[in-house]
Amino acid sequence: MICLAAFIVFAILGIFSATHRRLAKQAFWCVLRRVTFKPCQASIGEILKGKIVGWLLRRKSRWAGWVHRYFEVFSWIFVIITLVSTFYTVKGAYFYIRYGTCNPEHPEQCLISTQAALEKGVINPYYCNDK
């Protein structure tokens, strides 16, 4: 299941860094195969596990064995956090586009909306009215 989170993360990182595009491509094909109930040919989970555990071996060798043992649990936690944060990001963007604030029930809590930012003193009103 780590391939889903890896695809989301590496797709975003691949925009800015060419080194992550190869991992994003592998994660995409892994997600595509998982959706059709087929096993991944190049297991992105094993590739990431090797990179993470190898990095930890060089720095904190005690942690490397522990991470190696519980990597599946960490990957599920990471997938859940990624999906929840993606949901709230999309929800906030929808509310901002639809209502002009990221929280329509309490618009004063959203610092993105200009009026709330002016009231809280986050932005200077003189810069907004220059034109």
Residues 109 and 95 both lie in one domain: no
Residues 92 and 105 both lie in one domain: no
Range of the domain at 55: 2-99
Distances (CA, A) of 5 to 28, 77, 95, 103, 114: 10, 10, 25, 27, 33
- pTM for this one? 0.61
Residues 118 and 75 both lie in one domain: no
Residues 6 and 68 both lie in one domain: yes
Residues 109 and 86 both lie in one domain: no
Torsions phi, psi of 15, nearest 5? -65, -40
Cβ atoms of residues 2 and 75 within 8 Å: yes
Residues 61 and 50 both lie in one domain: yes
The tally of domains found in the chain comes to 2
User: For 58-114, what is each residue's pLDDT tens digit?
Assistant: 988 888 888 889 988 888 888 888 889 889 888 888 888 887 777 777 777 776 765
